[in-house]
Amino acid sequence: MSLKEQLRGLKSLAGPYRDFDTGAAPDEPASLFGVWLQDAITHGIPEAHAMTLSTVDAEGCPDARVLILKNVDADGWHFASTKLSPKGRQIALCPQAALIFYWQPLGRQVRLRGQVSELSREICEADFLARPIGSRASALLARQSDVLEGDEALDIALAEQRHLIEGDPFIVSTGWTVYAVQPTEVEFWQADGDRRHTRLRYRRAMDSQAWQRERLWP
Protein backbone atom coordinates (compact mmCIF):
# COMPACT_ATOMS: atom_id res chain seq x y z
CA MET A 1 0.00 0.00 0.00
CA SER A 2 1.36 3.44 -0.88
CA LEU A 3 1.76 6.08 1.78
CA LYS A 4 -0.97 8.07 0.07
CA GLU A 5 -3.40 5.10 0.29
CA GLN A 6 -2.39 4.45 3.88
CA LEU A 7 -3.06 8.08 4.83
CA ARG A 8 -6.39 8.01 2.99
CA GLY A 9 -7.38 4.97 5.08
CA LEU A 10 -6.64 6.61 8.43
CA LYS A 11 -9.65 7.91 10.29
CA SER A 12 -9.88 11.56 11.33
CA LEU A 13 -12.53 13.39 13.31
CA ALA A 14 -14.71 10.27 13.52
CA GLY A 15 -16.47 11.24 16.74
CA PRO A 16 -18.94 10.99 18.34
CA TYR A 17 -18.39 14.36 19.99
CA ARG A 18 -20.25 16.59 22.40
CA ASP A 19 -22.39 19.46 21.14
CA PHE A 20 -20.95 22.96 21.52
CA ASP A 21 -23.74 25.34 22.56
CA THR A 22 -22.29 28.64 21.33
CA GLY A 23 -25.40 30.49 22.60
CA ALA A 24 -24.34 29.64 26.16
CA ALA A 25 -20.71 30.76 25.63
CA PRO A 26 -19.39 33.46 28.00
CA ASP A 27 -18.68 37.09 26.94
CA GLU A 28 -14.92 36.58 26.95
CA PRO A 29 -12.72 33.66 25.86
CA ALA A 30 -10.50 33.00 28.90
CA SER A 31 -13.23 31.36 30.98
CA LEU A 32 -14.35 29.14 28.07
CA PHE A 33 -10.71 28.19 27.50
CA GLY A 34 -10.52 27.27 31.20
CA VAL A 35 -13.57 24.99 30.85
CA TRP A 36 -12.17 23.27 27.74
CA LEU A 37 -8.70 22.83 29.29
CA GLN A 38 -10.28 21.39 32.45
CA ASP A 39 -12.36 19.00 30.29
CA ALA A 40 -9.15 17.86 28.56
CA ILE A 41 -7.39 17.29 31.91
CA THR A 42 -10.40 15.47 33.42
CA HIS A 43 -10.60 13.32 30.28
CA GLY A 44 -7.01 12.18 30.96
CA ILE A 45 -5.66 13.58 27.69
CA PRO A 46 -1.85 13.28 27.92
CA GLU A 47 -0.08 16.65 27.99
CA ALA A 48 -3.32 18.60 27.80
CA HIS A 49 -1.17 21.68 28.48
CA ALA A 50 0.98 21.21 25.36
CA MET A 51 0.45 23.79 22.62
CA THR A 52 2.04 24.86 19.34
CA LEU A 53 3.62 28.32 19.37
CA SER A 54 4.07 30.03 16.01
CA THR A 55 6.32 33.03 15.47
CA VAL A 56 7.94 34.66 12.45
CA ASP A 57 11.62 35.23 11.76
CA ALA A 58 13.39 38.33 10.43
CA GLU A 59 12.48 37.34 6.84
CA GLY A 60 8.79 36.96 7.76
CA CYS A 61 9.00 33.14 7.48
CA PRO A 62 6.79 31.28 9.97
CA ASP A 63 8.32 28.95 12.57
CA ALA A 64 6.49 26.68 15.02
CA ARG A 65 7.21 24.35 17.92
CA VAL A 66 5.43 22.66 20.84
CA LEU A 67 5.68 24.25 24.31
CA ILE A 68 4.00 23.86 27.67
CA LEU A 69 1.31 26.28 28.84
CA LYS A 70 2.38 27.67 32.23
CA ASN A 71 -0.60 29.81 33.27
CA VAL A 72 -3.50 31.90 32.03
CA ASP A 73 -4.21 35.20 33.77
CA ALA A 74 -4.77 38.91 33.03
CA ASP A 75 -1.41 39.02 31.20
CA GLY A 76 -2.52 36.26 28.84
CA TRP A 77 -1.37 32.72 28.04
CA HIS A 78 2.08 32.05 29.55
CA PHE A 79 4.98 29.96 28.27
CA ALA A 80 8.63 29.86 29.28
CA SER A 81 11.86 29.55 27.35
CA THR A 82 15.23 31.15 26.91
CA LYS A 83 15.51 34.51 25.18
CA LEU A 84 18.60 33.29 23.34
CA SER A 85 16.70 30.56 21.47
CA PRO A 86 15.44 31.09 17.92
CA LYS A 87 11.91 31.65 19.24
CA GLY A 88 13.23 34.20 21.77
CA ARG A 89 15.08 36.07 19.02
CA GLN A 90 12.03 35.95 16.76
CA ILE A 91 9.79 37.33 19.50
CA ALA A 92 12.30 40.13 20.19
CA LEU A 93 12.07 41.15 16.52
CA CYS A 94 8.33 40.64 16.11
CA PRO A 95 6.36 40.30 19.38
CA GLN A 96 3.36 38.60 17.76
CA ALA A 97 2.46 34.92 18.04
CA ALA A 98 -0.18 32.28 17.45
CA LEU A 99 -0.95 29.40 19.80
CA ILE A 100 -2.81 26.19 19.01
CA PHE A 101 -4.18 23.55 21.33
CA TYR A 102 -5.61 20.27 19.97
CA TRP A 103 -7.38 17.82 22.24
CA GLN A 104 -7.88 14.88 19.88
CA PRO A 105 -10.23 12.62 21.89
CA LEU A 106 -12.61 15.56 22.35
CA GLY A 107 -12.30 16.79 18.75
CA ARG A 108 -11.48 20.26 20.02
CA GLN A 109 -9.03 22.87 18.77
CA VAL A 110 -8.38 26.35 20.20
CA ARG A 111 -6.46 28.97 18.17
CA LEU A 112 -5.18 32.25 19.59
CA ARG A 113 -3.33 35.20 18.01
CA GLY A 114 -1.92 38.23 19.74
CA GLN A 115 0.87 40.33 21.15
CA VAL A 116 3.67 38.73 23.20
CA SER A 117 5.10 40.39 26.31
CA GLU A 118 7.83 39.42 28.77
CA LEU A 119 6.72 39.04 32.37
CA SER A 120 8.61 40.49 35.36
CA ARG A 121 12.04 39.21 36.41
CA GLU A 122 10.47 37.91 39.67
CA ILE A 123 8.04 35.72 37.70
CA CYS A 124 10.84 34.49 35.39
CA GLU A 125 13.11 33.64 38.34
CA ALA A 126 10.33 31.86 40.26
CA ASP A 127 9.50 29.80 37.16
CA PHE A 128 13.15 28.89 36.66
CA LEU A 129 13.68 27.86 40.29
CA ALA A 130 10.53 25.68 40.25
CA ARG A 131 12.05 23.53 37.48
CA PRO A 132 13.72 20.16 38.25
CA ILE A 133 17.53 20.28 38.46
CA GLY A 134 18.02 18.64 35.06
CA SER A 135 15.80 21.24 33.39
CA ARG A 136 17.62 24.07 35.19
CA ALA A 137 21.01 22.69 34.12
CA SER A 138 19.81 22.43 30.53
CA ALA A 139 18.42 26.00 30.59
CA LEU A 140 21.64 27.34 32.12
CA LEU A 141 23.50 26.11 29.03
CA ALA A 142 21.58 28.81 27.13
CA ARG A 143 22.45 27.09 23.85
CA GLN A 144 19.02 25.86 22.81
CA SER A 145 18.91 25.00 19.08
CA ASP A 146 22.65 25.65 18.54
CA VAL A 147 24.41 22.95 16.49
CA LEU A 148 25.65 20.17 18.83
CA GLU A 149 29.12 18.76 18.14
CA GLY A 150 28.38 15.47 19.92
CA ASP A 151 27.06 13.78 23.08
CA GLU A 152 30.32 14.20 24.94
CA ALA A 153 30.20 18.01 24.65
CA LEU A 154 26.62 17.97 25.96
CA ASP A 155 27.42 15.63 28.89
CA ILE A 156 30.39 17.76 29.96
CA ALA A 157 28.43 21.03 29.71
CA LEU A 158 25.45 19.60 31.63
CA ALA A 159 27.72 18.24 34.38
CA GLU A 160 29.31 21.72 34.71
CA GLN A 161 25.90 23.38 35.07
CA ARG A 162 24.74 20.80 37.65
CA HIS A 163 27.91 21.51 39.60
CA LEU A 164 27.12 25.24 39.48
CA ILE A 165 23.58 24.62 40.77
CA GLU A 166 24.86 22.40 43.60
CA GLY A 167 27.17 25.28 44.65
CA ASP A 168 24.41 27.90 44.33
CA PRO A 169 20.88 26.41 44.40
CA PHE A 170 19.37 29.84 43.65
CA ILE A 171 21.36 30.48 40.47
CA VAL A 172 19.04 31.59 37.64
CA SER A 173 19.68 31.65 33.91
CA THR A 174 19.64 35.33 32.90
CA GLY A 175 17.91 34.55 29.62
CA TRP A 176 15.12 32.48 31.17
CA THR A 177 11.89 34.28 30.35
CA VAL A 178 8.21 33.78 30.96
CA TYR A 179 6.28 35.25 28.04
CA ALA A 180 2.55 35.91 27.79
CA VAL A 181 0.40 36.05 24.67
CA GLN A 182 -2.40 38.60 25.06
CA PRO A 183 -4.86 37.48 22.38
CA THR A 184 -6.95 39.71 20.15
CA GLU A 185 -8.50 36.61 18.50
CA VAL A 186 -9.46 33.28 20.06
CA GLU A 187 -11.29 30.59 18.11
CA PHE A 188 -12.98 27.55 19.65
CA TRP A 189 -13.51 24.69 17.19
CA GLN A 190 -15.61 21.65 18.01
CA ALA A 191 -15.47 18.79 15.53
CA ASP A 192 -18.53 17.01 14.21
CA GLY A 193 -18.36 13.51 12.70
CA ASP A 194 -20.39 14.73 9.66
CA ARG A 195 -18.07 17.73 9.25
CA ARG A 196 -20.71 20.17 10.52
CA HIS A 197 -18.07 21.56 12.82
CA THR A 198 -19.01 24.32 15.26
CA ARG A 199 -16.70 27.34 15.33
CA LEU A 200 -16.89 30.35 17.60
CA ARG A 201 -14.42 33.23 17.26
CA TYR A 202 -13.87 35.98 19.81
CA ARG A 203 -12.26 39.16 18.47
CA ARG A 204 -11.39 42.48 20.02
CA ALA A 205 -9.50 45.61 19.05
CA MET A 206 -5.98 45.83 20.51
CA ASP A 207 -6.97 48.70 22.84
CA SER A 208 -10.36 47.28 23.92
CA GLN A 209 -11.55 44.64 26.36
CA ALA A 210 -14.93 44.33 24.58
CA TRP A 211 -15.03 40.99 22.80
CA GLN A 212 -17.10 40.44 19.69
CA ARG A 213 -18.36 36.88 19.18
CA GLU A 214 -19.04 35.41 15.77
CA ARG A 215 -19.79 31.97 14.34
CA LEU A 216 -17.61 30.80 11.46
CA TRP A 217 -18.49 28.51 8.57
CA PRO A 218 -16.91 25.09 9.01
Ligand X SMILES: Cc1cc2nc3c(=O)[nH]c(=O)nc-3n(C[C@H](O)[C@H](O)[C@H](O)COP(=O)(O)O)c2cc1C
List the binding residues.
Answer: 65-70, 87, 109, 144-145, 189, 199
CA distance 212 to 117: 23
Is residue 50 at the binding interface for ligand X, with CB under 6 A as the rule?
yes
The answer to whether residues 141 and 84 touch, using CB atoms and an 8 Å cutoff, is: no
Diameter of the chain measured on Cα atoms: 60
CA distance 104 to 171: 39
Is residue 173 at the binding interface for ligand X, with CB under 6 A as the rule?
no
Q: Which range of residues in 37-45, 61-69, 165-173, 206-214 is near ligand X by CB under 6 A?
A: 61-69
The string over 131-158, giving b where at least 16 C-beta atoms fall within 10 Å of a residue's C-beta and e elsewhere, is eeeeebbbbbbbeeeeeeeeeeeeeebe
Mask: binding to ligand X, 131-170, rule CB under 6 A, as x and -?
-------------xx-------------------------
Is residue 81 at the binding interface for ligand X, with CB under 6 A as the rule?
yes
Q: How far is the CB of 177 from ligand X (least distance, A)?
A: 10
Known binding residues for FMN are: 65-70, 87, 109, 144-145, 189, 199
Helix or strand holding residue 75 (H, E): none
**Residues of the shown chain interacting with ligand X in the complex, contacts defined by CB under 6 A:** 47, 50, 63, 65-68, 79-81, 85-87, 144-145
